[in-house]
Structure 1
Amino acid sequence: MQELFQNFQIRVNDKLYIKDPESSELGKRIVENSILLMDEIGFESFTFKKLSDKINSTEASVYRYFENKHKLLIYLTSWYWAWIDYQVVLHTYSISNAEKKLETIISIVSQTIQADDSFTHIDEGRLFNIMINEYSKSFLTKEVDDDNKDGFFAIYKRVITRLKEAILAVRPEYPFPASLASTVVESALHQHFLKKHFHTITDCNESVEPSEFCKNLVLQTLNVTSQ
């Protein structure tokens, strides 16, 4: 199984880009620096003009890869979910115990993310900051149904489905597995946000990670004793 991941490449919906940014060094620089710039100034202030200045290129060159910054944001968030999905598969394929597998998936989807050297042009830590602060802007739009029909959120839903299936493996009779799974995934990002910005309305802090809350929420709901 490990050999299968040696040449692993993350793929996202090809409708999100005009030209695959993974196909050229310029495209990779666009992705790399869009993460750095969006993390630095936020999605609202982010423009292709500012990005092109950062990479010493032209605004037109950025538009050759992405139609607009909304699709770029969905591309980045899709890449993140694909990376999380990769981590889930990698770290659970040999786990036979259903409860242990469930806990492992919860930990992966709710942990604090650090940079992964496997993808040199992606700073996963900075991308994680974007997920915390900007992710909801990728789908809280009037176009969300059209975007969903185009499959833009398929990888995100696949991660939730893996968690849902792990929940059912532990408690097949539990009536709300999809709702619980989606609540955990969304709550994890929200608790990270509260931890950074609204300290008084979360119990997560420097010594209590959101992953601890998420595991407690699921295990208590399913009446499972932690391994």
Structure 2
Amino acid sequence: MSTISIVLGENFFKKDPQSSDLGRKIVSKGIIVLDELGFEEFTFKKLAESIESTEASVYRYFKNKHKFLVYLSTYYWSWLEYVIAFETHHFSDAKVKLENIIRIVCHAQDFPDALDLPEVDISKLRSVIDKESDKTYLNRNVDEINSKGLFTGYKSLCSKIAEVVAQIDPKYPYPRALVSMIMEASHQQVFFAQHLPSLTEVSKGKPKRLEEQAADFLNHTVMHSLK
């Protein structure tokens, strides 16, 4: 049984969804509906229908669907930061640690049941991140969103991974740029393989899972960049 509790600040919601059964249902079912419909077709009305509630009840928790996506993304990155700490704290070799971090970021390995999130389908949440997370910042309100601290979880995770990069090669001039590339490519390469296969060598036709192939590609690229 999971013991992980992700706590996010009040800027992410109007009412904390973790504070009630309805709120937790909105999050858990919202992930599934968002994954099925995509961000463009997803609405709070459709989500409300799926949980046999009202659209107004969903709006009591979240201002709009973009805020809901930001919440889910931050929830995911906060969970991933915990997983990385749990799974790699025992590695003393920074290179080995970074290789394992990349595998975790790519979901190229299975995680213990103890790292599950309560009432959340991690595979569905990861699918949402793969397809929709770019929309949290690729919009005209990105500066306002950032000023409210809504990207703190993502930036915190990137910063901690950049510290590992610096341990491997203290003179490498672009640790944060390298890490942000890792984070984006970890889901983009899988998406490309599924929908735009001419853009990548990651392929459904190979023996390894797409996530494992993406991890292999990123480890190859990163380790050739670092001394």
TM over 0.5: yes
Give 1:108's match in structure 2, choosing from 86, 91, 104.
Answer: 104
Q: Which of 150, 153, 164 pairs up with 2:151?
A: 153
| CA distance in 1: counterparts of 2:152 and 2:138, whole angstroms | 16
Give the secondary structure class of the aligned counterpart of 1:74.
helix
Q: How many residues align?
A: 218
Are residues 1:80 and 2:76 paired? yes
Unaligned regions of 5+ residues in structure 2, if any?
A: none
The alpha-carbon deviation at position 188 of structure 1 amounts to: 1.2
Correspondence 1:220 to 2:224? yes
Aligned pairs for 1:25-174 within 5 A: 25-112=21-108, 117=113, 118-174=116-172
Contact 2:4 2:118 in 1 (8 A): no
1:112 offset after TM fit, Å? 4.7
Question: Partner amino acid for 1:136?
Answer: D
TM score, norm. by length of structure 1: 0.91
CA distance in 1, matches of 2:129, 2:182: 15
- The separation in 1 between residues aligned to 2:87 and 2:110, in whole angstroms, is 16
Distance in 2 separating the partners of 1:69 and 1:115: 29
Q: Which residue in the other structure is 2:183 paired with?
A: 185
Contact 2:39–2:132, Cα closer than 8 Å, also in 1: yes
Contact kept, 8 Å, 2:16 with 2:23, in 1: the verdict is yes
For residues 188-223 of structure 1, the C-alpha deviation after alignment (integer angstroms, 9 at most, x for no partner) is 111011011111221112426211111111011114
- Matched residues in 1 for 2:218 and 2:109: separation? 15
Q: Tell which deviates more after alignment, 201-210 or 187-196.
A: 201-210
Structure 1, unaligned runs of 5 or more: 1-5
CA deviation vs aligned residue, 1:31-65 (integer Å, no higher than 9, x gap):
01110100001111111111111000011111111
Cα shift at 1:115:
8.5
TM superposition shift of 1:99 = 1.1
Deviation digits for residues 107-154 of structure 1 (CA, Å, limit 9, x no counterpart): 111225879753231111011111111111111111100110111011
Q: What is the alpha-carbon distance in structure 1 between the residues aligned to residue 67 and residue 138 of structure 2?
A: 13
- What is the rounded CA distance, in whole Å, between the counterparts of 1:112 and 1:98 in structure 2? 19
CA distance in 2, matches of 1:53, 1:192: 31
Moved over 4 A (4+): 112-117
Q: Residues 114 and 125 of structure 1 are in contact (CA less than 8 Å); yes or no, is this contact kept in structure 2?
A: no
What's the TM-score, normalizing by structure 2? 0.91
